[in-house]
Chain A
């Protein structure tokens, strides 16, 4: 058992009081390692809440720098952080909230060549990326490495989330076999997004991460949660693991990682969406 200091007992008292968390659950949080892909709209609340919760090691992957258009929803970044790298900006806030958290930053463009080496050190991954090629890459890499993850996406007044436990539940490719054609789905920079939507979905993803590491409740597996802010409605679409899924099915055609079209390894620039 971890010997909690008095300061730790006070800091985590509201967790410890919960019957379903308790001393043992908080210990699991302190020992856990969670990777957050994208320090943007979805990643921001996840980064802040998971640092506050005392997650032992938090990794953040992002290649971008803080831009003025990010500040309306990416609440981990402040006006004073403009033009600094997002991973450094996020790391500074995490350390300010909770100096006990071990922060690891990855200032890289995630691609087929780099992702496996990064995710292998983590218990759970939060995908807060802003583009389809990365979402598919994260799915494939996590399925192949057998690491559970939370998918999240937002646009306009809508959001969606699902949790994937490889081998046990439907994966992202069971539902969407490949990325939509380029420009078939607008990005946040083209279509807009109400800033708070990022907070709602990113916080749901952080909740799933905590439930997983503590081992409580029912994960959002085999269900796609969709949210619409206009009518304030949550819906769950029931999903099934597909036998013929190209990555997690019984005869997979994807057995090694590859980058989907829409080059994710291209340098950040005006062509890249900035969700």
Chain B
């Protein structure tokens, strides 16, 4: 878990609304290999309600999502094949 934390690219998408937050996430995922991890930060509300589901539908794994003190969410994604 510690290694996972340090190696992962982080994309801060706070203030980016739907669907551009999904678009930016897909751009980041396109840069990494299948099986690699990406961490994104999403606003509370529609972004956290929509983006993880869309990513799961595309075959990526939502490893976990946790709410931050500022109400935003940190989502860890493993890129699908």
Contacts and interface: CB of A to CB of B under 8 A. Distances in A.
Contacts of A238: none
B46 interface: no
B22 A23 contact: no
A62 B58 CA distance: 42
A4 B27 CA distance: 9
Interface in B14-65: 19-20, 22-24, 26-27, 29-31, 54, 57-58
Contacts, number: 30
5 contacts: A9-B20, A17-B22, A19-B58, A22-B26, A24-B30
Interface residues of B, number: 13
A7 to B, nearest CB: 12
A243 interface: no
Contact of A13 (B23, B30, B57): B23
Given A9-B27, A10-B20, A22-B26, 7 more contacts: A9-B20, A9-B24, A10-B23, A13-B19, A17-B19, A23-B29, A24-B30
Interface of B: 19-20, 22-24, 26-27, 29-31, 54, 57-58
Nearest to A27: B30
Interface of A: 1, 4, 9-10, 13, 16-17, 19, 22-24
Contacts of A17: 19, 22-23, 26, 54
Contacts of B27: 4, 9, 16, 23
Nearest to A10: B20
Contacts of A16: 23, 26-27
Nearest to A12: B23
Interface of A is mostly: helix
B42 to A, nearest CB: 16
A158 to B, nearest CB: 39
A1 B20 contact: no
A17 B27 CA distance: 10
Closest 3 CB pairs of A and B: A23-B30, A13-B23, A19-B58
Nearest to B20: A13
A22 B57 CA distance: 13
Nearest to B24: A9
Nearest to B18: A17
Contacts of A23: 26-27, 29-30
Contacts of B31: 1
B70 to A, nearest CB: 24
Contacts of A9: 20, 23-24, 27
A24 B30 CA distance: 8
Nearest to B58: A19
Contacts of A1: 30-31
Contacts of A4: 27
B68 to A, nearest CB: 25
